[in-house]
Chain A
Amino acid sequence: MIAKRSFAKSLGSLDGVFDFLQEFTDEEAIAEKYVFAINLVVEELFTNMVKYSGGADHQIAISIDKNDHQVMLQLTDFDSDPFDPESVSAVDVSAPIEQRQPGGLGLHIVRTLVDDLEYELDERKLTISVRKSLEN
Chain B
Amino acid sequence: MFGISKTEDGRISMSGRLDAAQVERAREVFDLIQTSCDVDFEELAYISSAGLGLLFATQKRLVDAGEGLRLINLNPHIREVFQIAGFDNVFEIA
Contacts and interface: CB of A to CB of B under 8 A. Distances in A.
A and B bound? yes
Interface of A: 11-12, 14-15, 18, 32-33, 36, 39-40, 43-44, 47, 91-98, 100, 102-103, 105-106, 108-109, 112-113
B48 A94 contact: no
Given A14-B20, A105-B85, A108-B85, A47 B56 contact: no
A121 B58 CA distance: 36
A15 B46 contact: no
Nearest to A15: B21
Interface string B57-94: 10110010000000000001100010011100110000
Interface string B23-58: 000000000000000000000001011101100110
Contacts of B48: 40, 43-44, 47, 106, 109
Given A12-B21, A39-B46, A93 B86 contact: yes
A103 B60 CA distance: 13
B17 interface: yes
B19 A14 contact: yes
Chain B residues touching A, majority SS: helix
Given A109-B84, A109-B85, A112-B84, A102 B46 contact: no
B47 to A, nearest CB: 9
B84 A102 contact: no
Contacts of B90: 97, 100
A32 B46 CA distance: 12
A92 B49 CA distance: 15
A108 B84 contact: yes
Contacts of A100: 56, 60, 90
Nearest to A97: B90
A105 B59 contact: no
A47 B50 contact: yes
26 contacts: A12-B21, A14-B21, A18-B19, A32-B77, A33-B76, A33-B77, A36-B46, A40-B48, A43-B19, A43-B48, A44-B49, A47-B20, A47-B50, A91-B86, A93-B85, A94-B89, A96-B89, A97-B63, A100-B90, A102-B57, A105-B49, A105-B56, A108-B85, A109-B49, A109-B81, A113-B84
